[in-house]
Structure 1
Amino acid sequence: MATDTTRPSSPVMMPGLSRPRGPVPLADVAVLLHPDDEVAIAKEALLPRTVLQIATGDVRVSAMIPAGHKVALRDVAEGSPIRRYGQIIGFATRAVTAGQHVHSHNLAVGEGQLTLDYAFGEEYRPVEIVPEAERRTFMGYRRADGRVGTRNFVAVLASVNCSSSATRRVVEHFRDPAIMAAYPNVDGVIAFPTKGGCGAHYGSSDLGQLQRTMAGIVDHPNVAAYVILSLGCEVNQPTDMIETTSLGAHSNGHQPLVLTIQQDGGFAKTVEAGIAAVERLLPDANTAVREPIPASELIVALQCGGSDAWSGVTANPGLGLAADEIVRQGGTVVLGETTEAYGAEHLLTR
């Protein structure tokens, strides 16, 4: 089969794209995060031949730069570092010229090439904690054990993947606003399905981790009450999980309610029983009332979400400022998924 290898004399226009613009100030179409950066982030798709005006001279875009992607602002030799935020994000796997698209095809981590100055504690500054009398408050729920919640849910927990669809079916019943109108202090009925619960050895560390995680989900100040739905034959037996994690000790003296599909008449009847169980729990959950709570009671967990090119430009700095303020108010912030800080550890150790 013959292939037409001729190139059009002008760039092929893509839907939604205008013709190349230029010269145009860099700040109008891209974000330069630090003056030392070799790249800028395109605010919009940049067409070939677009001319970018920067302090060191014009840069002509030589390839399509999708929105959110990196455009080189100066030449980079093969093996040389490429910076964003003023920090090395990788090394050029081939020579890069100004105006080119910088991405995984010409940028790599460069295992072993990165040398960092960790400067342990050199920039440490004590946090200026706000005096207790001046701390801000939020409207939260004070639980009987002294813990504080920001929400007031009734939960339906699946002990195994096989009962997960049943938890969703139970919760669907309570999405009717007319039903929940009778419980204005309850923020909702929520399902906690799982993809696990089997495929682990009884008594293994993997099963133990799953059980601790599930227990932590429902033994939580945001959960006023809960029901556990089980298939019956799973490795993660609810009775074992309750005993192993001491869930029963945190249920106001009552053993957590467990419904079992294989023992309670099958899927449909277990869903009906689950709905009835939640209906019995809702009145008590509705007795909880929001009250002013010091911000020092807040515990905020941070985790990498659906990362894109703008996470580090918009969401992350905003969350960082919020985290700093929560700590100043005496609260707690947990930086989870620390593997996402790979290559930037030296910024955390300073």
Structure 2
Amino acid sequence: MSKDTSDLSPSTQQSLLQLHSHDNVAVALRPLSAGTIVKLANQTITLQSDVSVMHKVAIKNISADQPVIKYGQPIGIAIQPVAVGEDVHNHNCEMANQTKDFNFCSNISMPKMVAEAEQAQFMGYHREGGRIGTRNFVGIITTVNCSATVASHIAASLNTPEVLKDYPNVDGVVALTHEGGCGMKSSGEGYELLERVLTGYAKHPNFGGVLIIGLGCETMQIQRLINENALHESPRCQALNIQDAGGTRQSISKGIDAVKSLLAKANLDTRTAAPASHLTVALQCGGSDAFSGVTANPALGVAADLLVSHGGTVIYSETPEIYGAEHLLTQRSINPAVANAVLDRIKWWENYTEINGFELNNNPSPGNKLGGLTTIAEKSLGAQSKSGTSALQAVYLYAEPATAKGLVFMDSPGFDPVSVTGQVASGANVICFTTGRGSAFGFKPVPCIKLGSNNALYEQMGEDIDVNCGEIISGKETVTECGQRIFQEILDVASGKAPKSESFGYGLNEFNPWRIGATV
């Protein structure tokens, strides 16, 4: 994003913040009443209406059908004349189809790479094949909803202090249950998507061992899953078929025995030093507000660039929330094939939403709008700042293994649990989640760091927020300083520090694979 203010640190007396010199709107830093006179640079503005904090104020006269500019980019058009000092929101601004400058590969940049010997380190679990985990769970992976209850009973029987005290190096047992696995075609997009998810979790370095449980007659057959995805049954990867085991009671008993053997294996693993190049961080935002694109997202972008400079990987996702700003990703793409892949996913989503009676430009939620976000373009521009400034190296399908280093994009819906489920299947071993309205999200087997965009949120929901980015607005911290703090938090959490969501036990219900196609 071509912002000319990379480090925002407004005065505590300031009422409005202009994010780019080309903008014709500014963001209210506090609630403003009609008639209030405020100063912005050399301009004096009289408020024509009440304006809520984080909402937009016109700082130039905007004619009807002219673009409303924020972040130096159009976020919509005025549907009526807007005078200086008026609030700008859904009553006078709407999304419009505008010509975008896709200009493939025209804005490629990379941070200065840190020498391997000088890379930051974290304490992780070294797995077979060179993979490194940030947690040491034992996973119970279900191929079908029919095996969910058995899996949950096994996990509940073993997730007790009495049992886990014998396995001090293990973080616990995670049962991953879902609604699918049968009533679907045995080939095609829906099947392949779930197959990628289950395979990604079976191979995930945050699991010291996995038990795969199926009913026996489902479409997603265990043996096919194992054979076609090089999973290989072993002391660390076991399988259980409920029908073959003799039903529920026998399956629970045999499953408990199997997981105890996996716990014993996982307990042999301990944390040792690893370079930050083995970190893959999933970027997420949920419950966004207008401050998200000013504080938390750009600060996370700084941390993302730092991780890339240390040889790590950053997974950016939520395709509906790049809509309206996808041209910035094509400009940052490392080659034309990557740029075309971005546009291919946008076209897929335009078709997918149309046949299901939706429109991509209807994305902002009621909470987003209350937080000052008017159009999907505005939301997308703010969201994209969390990806930093590095070149986009690759585009992946949902839950496809992310093998490239640097910034990559994984296609997904904007619904947080579904998106994160895919990112973790792709290999993410840390999650960073920004929020402005508030979020109670957490995940297993991967820790989730939550970043708050404003001080009011931190005061209201501080027990759920790990990093408060609101001091950027108060002028006590710059975006760069906050980003450096986030990077250190990533290293600390990767080394075992418990984020707030993990302390509360979140993550048992958030596993949610994306379901595409008919259920019959």
TM-score class, shorter-chain normalisation, is: 0.7 to 0.9
**CA 97–181 in structure 1, closer or farther in 2 if over 3 Å, else same:** farther
- Please tell me the residue identity of whatever aligns with 2:200: G
Aligned-residue Cα RMSD (Å) equals 2.9
Give the match's secondary structure for 1:58: strand
**Corresponding position of 1:77:** 63
| Matching of residue 321 in structure 1 with residue 302 in structure 2 | yes
Contact residue 90 and residue 107 of structure 1 kept, 8 A: yes
**Corresponding position of 1:206:** 190
Q: 1:80-95 residue pairs with structure 2 within 5 A? A: 80-95=66-81
Separation of aligned partners in 1, 2:317 and 2:261: 36
- Please tell me the residue identity of whatever aligns with 2:271: R
Aligned-pair CA distance for 1:288: 0.6
- Please tell me the residue identity of whatever aligns with 1:157: I
Q: 1:230-241 residue pairs with structure 2 within 5 A? A: 230-241=214-225
Aligned-pair CA distance for 1:338: 4.5
- Please tell me the residue identity of whatever aligns with 2:316: L
Aligned-pair CA distance for 1:226: 1.2
Separation of aligned partners in 2, 1:165 and 1:344: 43
| Matching of residue 287 in structure 1 with residue 256 in structure 2 | no
Contact residue 156 and residue 229 of structure 1 kept, 8 A: yes
**Corresponding position of 2:239:** 257
**Corresponding position of 1:186:** 170
Give the match's secondary structure for 1:317: helix
TM-score by length of 1: 0.79
Separation of aligned partners in 2, 1:40 and 1:269: 65
Separation of aligned partners in 1, 2:56 and 2:250: 56
Of 222, 228, 234, the residue aligned with 2:206 is 222
**Corresponding position of 1:12:** none
**CA 122–201 in structure 1, closer or farther in 2 if over 3 Å, else same:** closer
Aligned-pair CA distance for 1:50: 4.2
| Matching of residue 334 in structure 1 with residue 310 in structure 2 | no
Aligned-pair CA distance for 1:211: 0.9
**Corresponding position of 1:58:** 45
Separation of aligned partners in 2, 1:334 and 1:35: 30
| Matching of residue 311 in structure 1 with residue 292 in structure 2 | yes
Q: Deviations over 1:237-262 (max 9, x none)?
A: 222222222222xx547763224279
| Matching of residue 144 in structure 1 with residue 125 in structure 2 | no
- Greater CA drift, 154-163 or 218-227: 154-163
Contact residue 24 and residue 68 of structure 2 kept, 8 A: yes
Contact residue 236 and residue 265 of structure 2 kept, 8 A: no
Contact residue 284 and residue 317 of structure 2 kept, 8 A: yes
Percent identical among aligned pairs is: 40
Separation of aligned partners in 2, 1:229 and 1:307: 37
- Greater CA drift, 225-234 or 291-300: 225-234
- Please tell me the residue identity of whatever aligns with 1:71: V
Separation of aligned partners in 2, 1:258 and 1:345: 44
Contact residue 232 and residue 263 of structure 1 kept, 8 A: no
Separation of aligned partners in 2, 1:72 and 1:217: 48
| Matching of residue 299 in structure 1 with residue 262 in structure 2 | no
Of 102, 109, 116, the residue aligned with 2:88 is 102
Separation of aligned partners in 2, 1:309 and 1:32: 13
Q: Deviations over 1:121-140 (max 9, x none)?
A: 44434542222222221111
**Corresponding position of 1:39:** 25
Aligned-pair CA distance for 1:146: 1.8
| Matching of residue 114 in structure 1 with residue 95 in structure 2 | no
Aligned-pair CA distance for 1:284: 0.9
Separation of aligned partners in 2, 1:102 and 1:298: 41
**Corresponding position of 2:492:** none
**CA 89–172 in structure 1, closer or farther in 2 if over 3 Å, else same:** farther
Q: Which has the higher contact order (CA 8 A, sep 6+)?
A: 2
**CA 228–105 in structure 1, closer or farther in 2 if over 3 Å, else same:** farther
Separation of aligned partners in 2, 1:339 and 1:182: 46
Report which of the two structures shows the higher radius of gyration computed on alpha carbons: 1
Of 118, 124, 127, the residue aligned with 1:134 is 118
**Corresponding position of 1:158:** 142
Q: Which 5+ residue runs of structure 2 have no aligned equivalent?
A: 1-10, 333-520
Separation of aligned partners in 2, 1:142 and 1:323: 23
Give the match's secondary structure for 1:68: coil
Contact residue 229 and residue 259 of structure 1 kept, 8 A: yes
